[in-house]
Amino acid sequence: MKHVRSSLPTPTSTDSFWHSEPNEFLIGHRTTEELPKEADIVIVGSGITGTSVSRYLAEDERAKGKSVVLLEAREACWGATGRNGGHCQPLLFYRDSEVAAFEIKNVSAVKSYIETHSVPCEWRSVSGCLSFWVEEALQEAENKVAYLKESAPEVAKFVTVIKDKEELKKHRLNEEALGATITQGAASLWPYKLVTFILEKLIKDGKLNLQTKTPVTDITSQDNKHTLHTPRGAITAPTVILATNGYTSAILPHFADLIVPVQGTMSALFPPENSTILPDSHGMVGALGQPTNSDDYLIQRPYSGVPNPAGHLMFGGGRGAGTLPTVGVSDDSIMDEDTAAYLRSALLKILTLDGKTEGLNELKAAKQWSGIMGYSKDNHPWVGKVPQRDGLWIAGGYTGHGMPNGTLCGKAVAEMVLGEFEGKDVNQLQAEMVKKGDLPKSYLVSEERIAHARLLASVAAQDEAGKHGVV
């Protein structure tokens, strides 16, 4: 079966709220006026993963003296990381405990960097409230949490299940909620501000050459070197790292069925007048008739201590309310107006928002926009060397769950690349990383994994059947 490749990122994307306070240093930035003809390492994609790869290379003595060029098709952080829900929340019971422990570690790494460098990105440690509105989905969650308590009690201690109506009210859920899981160690943030802070620092420290508005249209390989073709010319490097997530197959057609673009919709909504900040971040499973394999998700911006402190409700999801296709869609210049309308009205029915809500049928949107996620065919990210393409590496396919994964997936790729520079056996290095908890085994790229994934139903078929992972 022929799978449709992703398009390149469109230059005319919808207007994300997260870009409403742009990093002026990075807009239109090209560290060198001309695109270098050669580099030691080229990274493609400037979201959380590509930026993380850049940072961990810069922090490692083994990369000293290596030239690193980061190519971005649009402005810096203009893809999924600049369009997501602002969550950094580990999902502890939907996948195995190895993945759960890794996500906890990832959130901790993000928090540590933000605290060390005092990054002004609205980081707020919150509990994650995942509410269930369909009995079957609640039962599945209870079973998975019970299994986690037996198999990985150290991870399970972060999760509790609540079903008592009075308890649910404390989390602002209305009386129709059947139950919820409360996860400690979640957070909300302004992701674009974190990523652009890191990029600006790397560039000013002389550690990175960033080339924005430089889409890669093709990669050709010869004599253990890869040439990346762009409208501004070509750049050749022995090591190339793709941090392109939902857009991967645009330049790596072999992955068209393995990482599939899926369009999501986000909104920044004004809260009711005189309302108070929510104590949790939220995910909603099966609320208002939405499919149970595709959560709605919500964080709230602060009311004080930040620029524009309006307490915006950053609410996304609503795929089941839309009428336009989403799976296989890589164009974020389009937004489904039916999904957008659902997002404006749903919170008034799902949550008990305080303040002046009487007579309100929907919340006013400051912005509504779309973004492109990368859904993995086997529901796990792909991190490692691309088979039969020596020197070509990948980290992506987060299935809408990139913030609790991308930082340490980027670090893992940097570690593999630098280990190979030292002459280490990559397979052995990967085994050591898995043993230390630096990367789940299920994330590693291999020919065997690709072959196994190709036996599974397509991402579109899994999504249609309601079987693809909760995001």
Q: Which sequence spans correspond to the domains of the chain?
A: 17-82+192-259+378-464, 126-187+261-375
**pLDDT under 70: residue ranges of the chain:** 1-2, 468-471
The pLDDT value recorded for residue 471 is 37
Instruction: Place domain 126-187+261-375 in its CATH homologous superfamily.
Output: D-Amino Acid Oxidase, subunit A, domain 2 (3.30.9.10)
> Could you report the per-residue pLDDT of 192-246, keeping only the tens digit for each?
999 999 999 999 999 999 999 999 999 999 988 999 999 999 999 999 999 999 9
Which residues 6+ apart lie within 8 Å of 337 measured at CB? none
Give the pairing type, strands 41-44 and 68-71.
Answer: parallel
Q: What's the rounded Cα separation, in Å, for the pair 444 and 125?
A: 30
Candidates 74, 3, 16; CA nearest to 45 is 74
Candidates 462, 467, 458; CA nearest to 3 is 458
Candidates 39, 44, 61, 60; CA nearest to 8 is 44
Candidates 88, 75, 73; CA nearest to 15 is 75
Q: What's the rounded Cα separation, in Å, for the pair 247 and 373?
A: 9
User: Is the model's pTM score more than 0.95?
Assistant: yes
Calculate ∠ Cα 125-130-136, nearest 5°. 165
DSSP-derived 3-state class of residue 149: helix
| DSSP string covering 158-209 | TEEEE--HHHHHHTTB-TT--EEEEEEEEEE--HHHHHHHHHHHHHHTT--E
The pLDDT value recorded for residue 470 is 40
Question: Which single residue is written with the structure tokens 């908890």?
Answer: 437
The pLDDT value recorded for residue 378 is 96
**Percent helix / strand / coil, the chain, rounded to 5:** 35, 25, 45
Q: Determine contact, residues 391/239, Cβ cutoff 8 Å.
A: yes
Assign domain 17-82+192-259+378-464 one CATH number from 3.50.50.60, 3.40.50.2300, 3.40.50.300, 3.40.710.10: 3.50.50.60
Candidates 79, 310, 303; CA nearest to 196 is 79
DSSP-derived 3-state class of residue 1: coil
Instruction: Count other C-beta atoms under 10 Å from residue 24's C-beta.
Output: 10
Q: What's the rounded Cα separation, in Å, for the pair 250 and 331?
A: 12
| DSSP string covering 395-441 | EE--TT--TTTHHHHHHHHHHHHHHHHTT--HHHHHHHHHHHTSS-G
Q: What's the rounded Cα separation, in Å, for the pair 343 and 329?
A: 20
In this structure, what are the phi and psi dihedrals at residue 15, rounded to the nearest 5 degrees? -95, 100
* Rg from Cα positions in the chain: 21
Q: What's the rounded Cα separation, in Å, for the pair 117 and 134?
A: 43
Instruction: Count other C-beta atoms under 10 Å from residue 270's C-beta.
Output: 14
Give the pairing type, strands 124-132 and 280-285.
Answer: parallel
Fold equal for 17-82+192-259+378-464 and 126-187+261-375 = no
The pLDDT value recorded for residue 3 is 76
Q: What's the rounded Cα separation, in Å, for the pair 110 and 408?
A: 9
Sheet containing 239-242: give its strands across: 209-211, 68-71, 41-44, 239-242, 392-396, 382-385
In this structure, what are the phi and psi dihedrals at residue 154, rounded to the nearest 5 degrees? -65, -30
> Could you report the per-residue pLDDT of 297-341, keeping only the tens digit for each?
999 999 999 999 999 999 999 999 999 999 999 999 999 999 999
The pLDDT value recorded for residue 1 is 46
Candidates 38, 84, 446; CA nearest to 264 is 84
Sheet containing 365-376: give its strands across: 159-162, 179-188, 124-132, 280-285, 296-300, 313-316, 259-269, 365-376
DSSP state of 212: -
Candidates 425, 421, 408; CA nearest to 62 is 421
